[in-house]
Structure 1
């Protein structure tokens, strides 16, 4: 009988769970919806039920449980989550079993997995930057995620990059997330594409043409094959586009898409230059949906970041290795740590990347 832990990554939309052995083998995975529309108590109850079902799928009793959850969190208490609405939920309330349990912040737990198992495996200090619906960051110092004095460490998505720019949902003005998240790229493209008179750019955002101000994008376009199928440019239709579609339009040379994409890259370069000068990371590991654009994002971003750092080299940009499995694998590391195995993951084979993933 193989010993295993239950690992659960709790998101605002869905939960990804699995069973992971002491050697790092993923022996079972599953996914469930997060019923946040029914309130925090329903989410806690669903987590308890999901953990019970995951444990039952294994051979015997789990050695421990690790949970990655959003919001402010300690190892023992989920203090607060704006997305879910809970406050001060003890770790034991999530688990219907009498086994050790450890909580972790969702993004920092993903960063822990990238540090121990993924793109930061041989690095001691780096930034894990998932760019998805929002933008978060996990500051990895000496191989461990750093949460700051009160758990707010890593909120790079709310660095004001254009102080006179657009309002952010957080209440600030000109946040990175407002320009460079996947949802922002889609929203800003749709707004300009559906407007009969697209607004002129203000001084808060570069006004040069996207090709001229982004030679790396132009170079990428010059060497990129044409899209496999035509990309339809939205007209006055209210139907929203996705960030993936904006990326495809950028790759096809669409001027408006290149403009929006260039502004996102500019915002990222500003925030990452500040981060680099403060903490001198060995690398910046890009994850999340927008990073799936690959060189279309990383090449111009590396170029602009390098130009912003006049007296030092920019840290290299790396693609995250674990994808959507990072949170669940990080939760597995927490589960083994809760059970007393502080070195969990140290001897796990890179073949863990080939293990079954949650679809």
Structure 2
């Protein structure tokens, strides 16, 4: 069975053709302007999917809160304006005449890691993706825990700083306004406006820019504070952290060290693991939706 896995992010759409074993026959990344809104996204999505070879099914990983029953977008913030309410499953099934399943991007990444990556040894783990915002997923007994109405694990909107930075969700002090990659880049740009992404920040640090080291340490502390709260609540065997910035191996080590300093000793056997699938986690997770 040929499954087209699609991962819709805040700045790009990734598409891969996968088989039942997680092997990718193709993988492409397309840029689009998310600020043009949900209608533009859907138009570009249809265009990008049509450029791929024949497939039997489509799995979608997407930013925003998802109704997995009907494949619609329950809520999306201003990273993708006017995306809320989009009936993605219905639109794509009508367009391509194949079964379509839709899942929240963080849940899809966790599913991908559970089947093919760092989550394979664990029945219970948390998964967080650090990027434009912070996505979260809870895996209990090898199943996604969805909560009362299917939208559990909005870890990015834990309040870590009451009355703090304004957030796209309309509230203030959310975890992702301090610990997302966006938050790190925003701070770095105050030092050097050329530092527009995580990769550029780490290149500058590797080249000896000592101005960025305190900034990075502060950001690692913000990341670790949120993880500490989650560890104390869920007592997971492992936390998998992903997103492009977490592909920096030394960064995961820094987070692990800081978390171990902050958590209660009785929780110290928790494993902090870098996501194995990298930027393909969402695509493979989306394709894995059809394995069930």
TM-score band (shorter)? 0.7 to 0.9
Unpaired segments of 5 or more residues in structure 1?
194-233, 343-359
Deviation at 1:10, TM superposition (A): 1.8
Q: Match for residue 14 of structure 2?
A: 16
Of 76, 83, 89, 1:81 maps to 76
CA 1:308–1:28: 2 relative to 1, 3 Å: closer
Q: Identify which range, 119-128 or 77-86, moves more after superposition.
A: 77-86
Does residue 1:265 correspond to 2:262, yes or no? no
Of 242, 246, 254, 2:201 maps to 246
CA 1:112–1:167: 2 relative to 1, 3 Å: same
Q: Whole-Å Cα distance in 1 between the matches of residues 119 and 92 of structure 2?
A: 30
CA 1:324–1:307: 2 relative to 1, 3 Å: same
Q: Whole-Å Cα distance in 2 between the matches of residues 278 and 180 of structure 1?
A: 19
How many residue pairs match? The answer is 285
CA 1:189–1:65: 2 relative to 1, 3 Å: closer
Does residue 1:177 correspond to 2:176, yes or no? yes
Q: Whole-Å Cα distance in 2 between the matches of residues 50 and 252 of structure 1?
A: 38
Does residue 1:331 correspond to 2:275, yes or no? no
Q: Report the TM-score when normalising by structure 1.
A: 0.71
CA 1:41–1:301: 2 relative to 1, 3 Å: closer
Unpaired segments of 5 or more residues in structure 2?
none
Is the partner of 2:15 in helix, strand or coil?
Answer: strand
Q: Whole-Å Cα distance in 1 between the matches of residues 207 and 30 of structure 2?
A: 37
Is the partner of 2:87 in helix, strand or coil?
Answer: strand
Larger Rg: 1
Q: Whole-Å Cα distance in 2 between the matches of residues 81 and 138 of structure 1?
A: 17
Q: Whole-Å Cα distance in 2 between the matches of residues 30 and 298 of structure 1?
A: 26
CA contact (8 A) 1:247 1:261 kept: no
CA contact (8 A) 1:5 1:63 kept: yes
Q: Whole-Å Cα distance in 1 between the matches of residues 141 and 228 of structure 2?
A: 21
Q: Match for residue 111 of structure 2?
A: 112
Of 233, 238, 255, 1:301 maps to 255
Does residue 1:70 correspond to 2:101, yes or no? no
Deviations for 1:129-188, whole angstroms, at most 9, x for unmatched residues?
211222221222222222322343222222222335433343333332222222211211
CA contact (8 A) 1:12 1:84 kept: no
Q: Whole-Å Cα distance in 2 between the matches of residues 106 and 27 of structure 1?
A: 21
Q: Whole-Å Cα distance in 1 between the matches of residues 114 and 182 of structure 2?
A: 27
Deviations for 1:311-343, whole angstroms, at most 9, x for unmatched residues?
413311111111111111111112x34xxxx2x
Superposed counterparts of 1:268-279, under 5 Å: 268-279=223-234
Deviation at 1:42, TM superposition (A): 3.4
Q: Match for residue 91 of structure 1?
A: 89
Q: Give the root-mean-square deviation of aligned CA atoms.
A: 2.4
CA contact (8 A) 2:88 2:102 kept: no
Does residue 1:321 correspond to 2:276, yes or no? yes
Deviation at 1:253, TM superposition (A): 6.3
Q: Match for residue 350 of structure 1?
A: none
Q: Match for residue 128 of structure 1?
A: 127
Superposed counterparts of 1:35-74, under 5 Å: 35-54=33-52, 57-58=53-54, 62-74=55-67
Q: Whole-Å Cα distance in 2 between the matches of residues 248 and 52 of structure 1?
A: 37
